[in-house]
Structure 1
Amino acid sequence: MWTSIFIGIYVVVAFSIVLSILLYGAKPTKSLAWLLAIFALPIGGIFLYLLLGRNRRRYKLIELEKDLFNKQPKPSHQHVNEFNGRYKKLMALNYRNSHFPPTTGNDLTILKDGKTTFETIFYALECATIRIHIQYYIFEEGDLASRLLELFEKKIAEGVVIRLIYDGIGSFSLSKKYLKELIKIGVEVYSFLPFKFGRYFYSLNFRNHRKIIVIDGEIAFTGGINISDKYLKGQVGLGKWHDMHLKLIGAAATQLDQVFMTDWYLVSTKLLQPIQIPEKTEELVVQNEMVQIVAGGPDDDFPALEQTYFTIINMAKEYVYITNPYIIPGQALIRALQTVALSGVDVRLLVSENADNKVVSWSVHSYFELFLKAGIKIYLFPDGFLHSKIMVSDDAVSSIGTANLDDRSFEQNYEVNAIMYHKHMAKLLKEDFLQDCSISNELIYEEYIKRKWTKKLQEGIGRVLSPLF
């Protein structure tokens, strides 16, 4: 009897999932893979699908009210038509996806590696007078975390409100003792989708990969650097982590604060209001750099960051340079990179020679032959682990943020990038890219195709497993 009941329940659940895949599957290849998994692994296939395979764009994690903070205008054709210049289509695309228009009057500073970044961050935190918003994928205990704890206690005593979001999986090692210390001194702390059975278990695969600090609503930081001592001391067996961060002062910082406030509502159900920043006089505006914040996640209707990267690549006329540790692109980005390279655009990829995950590294390398054959230049950075997420093109547009060039960043993670329409910033990032390439090892197509068959086998395994990364 119980066997018959179990079989009946299984058939109903399996049929429901198959119907859902057929109706709402986003990609035919993935849909077919999940159908095969469900039929080949009767119980395990269903479990894995519920854990990893659900179409989050169809089943949203949370429905935010329209104009939640009454902070940003509803995208309209009239507003979009106001964009001008070479990249007006990119601006319109990002505006429709993230609802943030490009802003001027921003003061931007590129921060390279941990020492410079954290010195700048701590100085800015010391100057906070109203509130501090902090959000990180990886928040690890160590010297940095201890220093932050001391600073938080001091600022709270001065009347500054501090709110912290950490990802439940990325910061899984964060101890209860440290969290209790944060709460004890008055920090408001929430975990993003903590690992636990129940309501959020089915969302285990959807992580918040954003790195955001906003001080008093007008000074902000974002990029690839997490709160971890490995950016200062290195990591055993891997060496020092190299990364790029960005400091923003102005309207773009306020937009990053709005991204944080949306995530804060998601984890706490508490509504926050933006700080009213007084308009600056022309004398106080150091630089007039146009910036557009692009925030994307699995709840959005379209993969915003993938579309941003795709558009920058396709609009390139002279060059597009990409620094990224996890280049595991889908067919659209593969074709885009190959097409612009074959048309004569100088396309270069800078990837870390050392890897923090061997299988992921196999997957990244599995695309190298396709790229090299199309004339794309690939450089392997040999010193430590290169973790930056940079794209720069034609001395005109550039991107610094948290999104990798892989399916996880485009489909499963909450990410944020700063798109800069400014020649000065593009040239600075281009010079830095070329400097890193000069100390890196360039791959040559004729030599690479002669690699050992064991290497090719590893790459094949990596590519097959890449949808799980």
Structure 2
Amino acid sequence: MLTESMLIPILIALYVLIAAIMVVSLLLNGVRPSKTLAWLLAIFTIPVGGVLLYILFGRNRRKSKMFTLKNEFSIRDEVQYPQCTPPISGNKEKIIKLIHNAAQCPISCKNEVELLKDGRNTFESIFEALEKAEEHIHLQYYIFEDGVLADKLLEIFERKIAQNVTVRLLYDGIGSYSLSKKYLKRLHSIGVQTAQFLPFRFGRFLSALNYRNHRKIIVIDNKIGFTGGINISDKYLKGDPSLGKWHDTHLKVEGEAVDFLNRTFVIDWFLASGEQVDISSFQLHPKINGEHFLQIVASGPDDDFDVMEQVYFSIINSAEKYLYIVNPYIIPNHAILQGLSTAALSGVDVRLLMSDTTDIKLVDWCVRAYFDTYLKSGIKIYLYPDGFLHSKVMLCDDEIASIGTANLDNRSLQQNYEAQAFVYDTDLCAQMKADFLKDCDKSIALLDYKEHRERPMIKKILEGFAKLLSPLL
């Protein structure tokens, strides 16, 4: 029988063994030397806690993949689109090639896109499209909450299932944790197929907690698709008691690119449910006469490269006239920060539009911790005061418009499963640019570096503390 005097050395030896294994893993799989060194220090200086933090946040998923898509079920490489040349300048053609090679998404030519702003307009368009479904409805959301919107969807699902339409709903295990069992039972009772992405279970808690599916995708009959920043939550209709009205941007797509959104859903559905959906049974998209050039980046921690970071970085560095960004969580890593600063110092009009307040105070401090560098570089900052601005938009030189789910933070760029649409169209860019400038006119402008430096010392300390945690936020 083990005594306490015998047990303590055994536990210490076991801890040392686990720590040694993690050190070897870091040395073999670590990508950034600075990050590797930080984790080594944490493991050796924070007993037990350092190991647990590394298990939760530190492992390199690109080396030890959670899912091996190419070996299990990959369908992205099968899609072929006709060759086409979008109307963009030569230095931006590399972005199209990057997305094609890194995200396996060739550029598609024949698309119609419609910009949707805020919840009411977006859901009116979604409900109208759902009513037209004849074969299948695929929905994928990070946050799916009980409420008016969920009940409306339930009504539509029931009608469409009665018409022999297949409905599949995929929701994230953490983002949709509040979704009630009662609502799920109602879905199942009418025939909706559901799957939960990385559910909150103790057995996979440590390995899966930090890797969430942040995508928002709807595909109807492989003909109409939606993606963007808006979740299924009544706060998009009623607002939030503390933050006010939620503002967001979504995109409706018809044409070739819908097929890729559907393929992204089908892969995620397989990962969550184990069911392989036969995509050969889906009718191909109709021939659309639209001329919107479009690519989708479906990125995640299992990709061989930091795809979303690479694409954002390339767009930032390709900017010649202006770069406008709308995002609630701009917490840049070193590469993105250098890119933004370099662009502004080179004479590019770089503007950041974000909320004056956010839903998480610690994140708000971290976002503001980078304001000094922005202002010193000549980057213009605008804080939107009317509610919470949740859009994830990037505009560049009247040539590229990006709308989707990915924030400019470590979580979106390296840890989450994201979906971002990149549209190459001057008219859409002009429309979004005009909207952006109107929102800037309504916002609080932070333009003076010296004035910003005079903020209270307590704010500087809080921001500095939060900045230390930026790799985890």
- 2:350: which partner in 1? 347
> Is 2:439 the counterpart of 1:466?
no
- 1:374: which partner in 2? 377
Q: Read off the aligned partner of 2:457 and give its amino acid letter.
A: W
Structure 1 residue 19 displacement after superposition: 1.1
> Is 2:65 the counterpart of 1:60?
yes
> Is 2:258 the counterpart of 1:253?
yes
Q: What is the percent sequence identity of the aligned residues?
A: 53
Q: 1:303 aligns with which of 282, 303, 306?
A: 306
- Report the CA distance shift for 1:141/1:81 in structure 2 as closer, same or farther (over 3 A): closer
8 Å CA contact 2:258–2:285 kept in 1: the answer is no
8 Å CA contact 1:69–1:273 kept in 2: the answer is no
Paired residues for 1:142-161 under 5 Å: 142-161=147-166
Q: Provide the aligned length of Structure 1 versus Structure 2.
A: 463
Rounded to whole Å, the distance in 2 between the matches of 1:35 and 1:110 is 46
Rounded to whole Å, the distance in 2 between the matches of 1:16 and 1:250 is 50
> Is 2:398 the counterpart of 1:388?
no
- 1:209: which partner in 2? 214
8 Å CA contact 2:222–2:285 kept in 1: the answer is no
Q: Secondary structure at the match of 2:202?
A: coil
> Is 2:415 the counterpart of 1:412?
yes
Q: Secondary structure at the match of 1:248?
A: strand
> Is 2:328 the counterpart of 1:318?
no
8 Å CA contact 2:223–2:285 kept in 1: the answer is no
Rounded to whole Å, the distance in 2 between the matches of 1:393 and 1:206 is 30
Rounded to whole Å, the distance in 2 between the matches of 1:342 and 1:438 is 23
- Report the CA distance shift for 1:69/1:297 in structure 2 as closer, same or farther (over 3 A): closer
Q: 1:9 aligns with which of 11, 14, 21?
A: 14
Q: Read off the aligned partner of 1:57 and give its amino acid letter.
A: R
Q: CA RMSD in A?
A: 1.9
Rounded to whole Å, the distance in 2 between the matches of 1:205 and 1:278 is 36
Q: 1:356 aligns with which of 356, 359, 362?
A: 359
Rounded to whole Å, the distance in 1 between the matches of 2:122 and 2:227 is 10
8 Å CA contact 1:69–1:272 kept in 2: the answer is no
Q: Read off the aligned partner of 1:288 and give its amino acid letter.
A: E
Summarize deviations over 1:405-458 as a string: whole Å, max 9, x none. 000001110001000111111111111110100100100223111111111111
Q: 2:133 aligns with which of 94, 118, 128?
A: 128
Rounded to whole Å, the distance in 1 between the matches of 2:221 and 2:382 is 40
- 1:423: which partner in 2? 426
8 Å CA contact 1:135–1:213 kept in 2: the answer is yes
Rounded to whole Å, the distance in 1 between the matches of 2:142 and 2:322 is 32
Q: 2:35 aligns with which of 30, 35, 38?
A: 30
- 2:169: which partner in 1? 164
Structure 1 residue 26 displacement after superposition: 2.1
Rounded to whole Å, the distance in 2 between the matches of 1:48 and 1:446 is 38
Summarize deviations over 1:304-339 as a string: whole Å, max 9, x none. 111111111111110010000000001111111111
Q: Secondary structure at the match of 1:207?
A: coil
Paired residues for 1:110-129 under 5 Å: 110-129=115-134
Summarize deviations over 1:253-285 as a string: whole Å, max 9, x none. 11111110110111112111335445645xx52
Rounded to whole Å, the distance in 1 between the matches of 2:459 and 2:85 is 51
Q: Read off the aligned partner of 1:400 and give its amino acid letter.
A: I
Paired residues for 1:182-261 under 5 Å: 182-199=187-204, 201-261=206-266
What TM-score do you get using the length of structure 1 for normalisation?
A: 0.95
8 Å CA contact 1:220–1:248 kept in 2: the answer is yes
Rounded to whole Å, the distance in 2 between the matches of 1:59 and 1:247 is 35
Q: Secondary structure at the match of 1:72?
A: helix
What TM-score do you get using the length of structure 2 for normalisation?
A: 0.94
8 Å CA contact 2:76–2:260 kept in 1: the answer is no
Q: Read off the aligned partner of 2:155 and give its amino acid letter.
A: E
Q: 1:457 aligns with which of 429, 454, 461?
A: 461
- 1:290: which partner in 2? 293
8 Å CA contact 2:119–2:248 kept in 1: the answer is yes
Judge which range, 192-201 or 349-358, deviates more: 192-201
Q: Read off the aligned partner of 1:41 and give its amino acid letter.
A: I
Rounded to whole Å, the distance in 2 between the matches of 1:390 and 1:209 is 16
- Report the CA distance shift for 1:189/1:27 in structure 2 as closer, same or farther (over 3 A): same
Q: Read off the aligned partner of 1:325 and give its amino acid letter.
A: P
Structure 1 residue 67 displacement after superposition: 9.5
Q: Read off the aligned partner of 2:439 and give its amino acid letter.
A: D
Q: Secondary structure at the match of 1:152?
A: helix
Structure 1 residue 148 displacement after superposition: 0.9
Rounded to whole Å, the distance in 2 between the matches of 1:453 and 1:226 is 37
Rounded to whole Å, the distance in 1 between the matches of 2:386 and 2:338 is 30
Structure 1 residue 68 displacement after superposition: 3.9
Q: Read off the aligned partner of 1:113 and give its amino acid letter.
A: D
- Report the CA distance shift for 1:200/1:188 in structure 2 as closer, same or farther (over 3 A): farther
Q: Secondary structure at the match of 1:378?
A: strand
Structure 1 residue 460 displacement after superposition: 0.5
8 Å CA contact 2:246–2:389 kept in 1: the answer is yes
- 2:3: which partner in 1? none
8 Å CA contact 2:299–2:417 kept in 1: the answer is yes
Q: Read off the aligned partner of 1:110 and give its amino acid letter.
A: L
- Report the CA distance shift for 1:196/1:466 in structure 2 as closer, same or farther (over 3 A): same
> Is 2:339 the counterpart of 1:336?
yes
Rounded to whole Å, the distance in 2 between the matches of 1:197 and 1:83 is 51
Structure 1 residue 82 displacement after superposition: 11
- Report the CA distance shift for 1:128/1:59 in structure 2 as closer, same or farther (over 3 A): same
Structure 1 residue 184 displacement after superposition: 1.4
Q: Secondary structure at the match of 1:361?
A: helix
- Report the CA distance shift for 1:108/1:15 in structure 2 as closer, same or farther (over 3 A): same
- 1:401: which partner in 2? 404
- Report the CA distance shift for 1:74/1:252 in structure 2 as closer, same or farther (over 3 A): closer
8 Å CA contact 2:356–2:384 kept in 1: the answer is yes
Judge which range, 176-185 or 398-407, deviates more: 176-185
Rounded to whole Å, the distance in 1 between the matches of 2:411 and 2:310 is 14
| 5+ residue gaps, structure 2 | 1-5
Q: Read off the aligned partner of 1:452 and give its amino acid letter.
A: P
8 Å CA contact 1:349–1:378 kept in 2: the answer is yes
Structure 1 residue 370 displacement after superposition: 0.3
Summarize deviations over 1:64-112 as a string: whole Å, max 9, x none. 236946553499xxx8999985232101100111111010110100000
Q: Read off the aligned partner of 2:157 and give its amino acid letter.
A: F
8 Å CA contact 1:114–1:225 kept in 2: the answer is yes
Q: Secondary structure at the match of 1:180?
A: helix
Rounded to whole Å, the distance in 2 between the matches of 1:29 and 1:163 is 43
